[in-house]
Structure 1
Amino acid sequence: MTRRTHAAMTGALAQLAPITLEEVLAEASLQTRVDRKYLVPIATFVELVTRLRHRFAVLEIDGQRTFRYESVYFDTPSHGLYRQHVQRRRYRYKVRTRSYLDSGECSFEVKLKGNRSETVKSRMPYPLEDRARLTGPAREFLAEQLRTAYGVGVIDRLQPALTTTYRRSTLVDRVEHARMTCDIDLRFFDRDAAVDVLPNTVLVESKTSGRAGAADLVLRDLQVRPIQVSKYCVAAALLNPQLRANPWHRTLRQLTRSG
């Protein structure tokens, strides 16, 4: 991200009151939710935050408002989980570790697609040093989630597929208790390749319990429409051009054009 863009992001967030991590969890602990995702040019993002400044607060820890994240995604050698999403299977899921690099904390997460297209996320604490592999407890946790939600077992041969890194700011709507995450500096890589995307764009995710929230309404007014995007799926498609990627063709064009 350019210095100018980074300064614009920092200036926009400076308009917001701070909120602690404990307050974030109390205000907007949405584990079952509807996600709406947007690619927002930095100038539009500044306007979005300006319009929301009286009702949204931003997570602040030790004076920081943007934090480093790393996610390691797991899949089969033949990209079986990725193909579930391409084919829009009713029962599809993602498996990853999520590391908060500034605090050294890590979690193992399973993201399931619910019956009404909502995202259901379950997590457990995880050793940071194990973030690039599946331990026995992680496999047991995954098996339990799949049996409970889908009545199926774990796909064998799950292994690290790719890693995503980015910087994230988390905003909370104190009126509707919704959440908005804002990601910059996205980088995708695996053992063979790496790609940086969106140097002047913010990936905004609005997370609500159902209906469109305040952020969604402002973005609509700013002529920004939701897109279909999954960090894992677009990363896999960019790093493996031979994979079919029909659902994300428009998004991939935007990512590469913006990058």
Structure 2
Amino acid sequence: MSAVELGAGPAGVTLDVPLERLDTIGLAELTERASLLTRIDRKYVLPRSELDSVLADLDEGVRVLDIDGVRSSEYESVYFDTPELTSFMMAAHPRRRRFKIRTRTYVDSAQSYLEVKTRGGRGVTVKDRLPYGIDDRARLTSEGRRYTDTVLDEADITGAEGQDLVPTLTTRYLRTTLFIPESSSRATIDTGLSWSSVPGRNAPGAGAPQLRLDRPRLAIVETKSGSRASAVDRILWAHGHRPATISKYGTGMAALRSDLPDNKWAPVLRRYFR
């Protein structure tokens, strides 16, 4: 069973015009110079109308990811959780050690990966990934479950062992990726944001209908660097934007379901989602 259909993508505006002055970087070079699977993430939420002024201040040395002439690529993620929403609850009531499991599909190239993100005691996020069949993106195969269990066990993360892991939420958006040479780091810009629940899983009661939330006038900027802030962080600060507490999974679930705890994301929910 597939919870989502490729092709029903986000309605967003690409960022080609404000970034056309920047040189490009290919995926292979970006991966070599700024893989950053272990990193500090800082997230910013801002109106789409304020994004262009931020991008205009980027140094000309910043480069934008280009894949086959495309600078804004469509992403789709399917998140998995236990029936008791263990992963969500670990984020809603912050645990120093927690996990997030999803498949990520690069729609333009029709490639999928299973990703397991873990957060350790020092607040550092580690992402492990496994190439995954695109037709399996809305379910965990036996191989996927073994991989997930191995990653969680090696990271000493508990909470999912012995429980089913089921799809709970699908997100879609357009992503533009920047490479910042001065810190060998990257930043991502997500627009055309959409969240939808998985019917029967993401709402009270069996067979619950699908819920959907679109935010085309919103942008999420995420910087991914070491302990030091990047040039993109400093530009955002200069424009009055500060890091926000937001998670596409946690905030999306709380926005769609009024019965879930939402205190952690309350400021962002009040300002941008409700």
**Aligned pair in 2 of structure 1 residues 154, 126: CA closer, same or farther (>3 Å)?**
same
Secondary structure at the aligned position of 2:183 is classed as coil
- For 1:49-64, list aligned pairs within 5 A: 49-64=55-70
Matched, 1:218 2:225: no
The residue that corresponds to 2:155 in the other structure is 149
**Is the CA contact (8 Å cut-off) linking 1:44 and 1:222 kept in structure 2?**
no
**Is the CA contact (8 Å cut-off) linking 2:255 and 2:273 kept in structure 1?**
no
The alpha carbon displacement at 1:51 in A equals: 1.5
Gaps of 5+ in 2: 1-10, 200-209
**Is the CA contact (8 Å cut-off) linking 2:54 and 2:236 kept in structure 1?**
yes
Distance in 1 between the 2:88 and 2:228 partners? 28
Matched, 1:228 2:245: yes
The alpha carbon displacement at 1:60 in A equals: 0.7
The residue that corresponds to 1:205 in the other structure is 222
Report the TM-score, using the length of structure 1 for normalisation.
Answer: 0.93
Distance in 2 between the 1:136 and 1:153 partners? 19
The alpha carbon displacement at 1:23 in A equals: 1.2
More helix, by proportion: 1
Matching residue's letter, 1:96:
R
- For 1:116-155, list aligned pairs within 5 A: 116-150=122-156, 152=158, 154-155=160-161
Higher deviation after alignment, 77-86 or 182-191: 77-86
Distance in 1 between the 2:13 and 2:70 partners? 14
The residue that corresponds to 2:165 in the other structure is 158
Structure 1's consecutive aligned runs of 4 or more residues displaced over 4 angstroms after TM superposition are: none
Matching residue's letter, 2:137:
R
The residue that corresponds to 2:204 in the other structure is none
**Aligned pair in 2 of structure 1 residues 96, 58: CA closer, same or farther (>3 Å)?**
same
Calculate percent identity across the aligned residue pairs.
39
Say which of 241, 249, 256 aligns to 2:266: 249
- For 1:8-23, list aligned pairs within 5 A: 9-23=15-29
Matching residue's letter, 2:44:
Y
Distance in 2 between the 1:10 and 1:160 partners? 33
Distance in 1 between the 2:157 and 2:30 partners? 33
Report the TM-score, using the length of structure 2 for normalisation.
Answer: 0.88
Higher deviation after alignment, 227-236 or 39-48: 39-48
Higher deviation after alignment, 84-93 or 219-228: 84-93
Higher deviation after alignment, 34-43 or 123-132: 34-43
Matched, 1:46 2:52: yes
Distance in 1 between the 2:244 and 2:159 partners? 31
Matching residue's letter, 1:61:
I
Matched, 1:240 2:257: yes
Secondary structure at the aligned position of 2:219 is classed as strand
Matching residue's letter, 2:104:
R
Secondary structure at the aligned position of 2:167 is classed as strand
**Is the CA contact (8 Å cut-off) linking 1:194 and 1:239 kept in structure 2?**
yes
Secondary structure at the aligned position of 1:72 is classed as strand
**Is the CA contact (8 Å cut-off) linking 2:96 and 2:123 kept in structure 1?**
no
The residue that corresponds to 1:195 in the other structure is 213
- How many residues are treated as equivalent by the alignment? 254
**Is the CA contact (8 Å cut-off) linking 2:49 and 2:217 kept in structure 1?**
no
Secondary structure at the aligned position of 1:61 is classed as coil
Distance in 2 between the 1:72 and 1:256 partners? 20
Matched, 1:72 2:78: yes
Matched, 1:182 2:217: no
The alpha carbon displacement at 1:103 in A equals: 0.1
> RMSD value over aligned CA atoms?
1.9
Distance in 2 between the 1:175 and 1:95 partners? 32
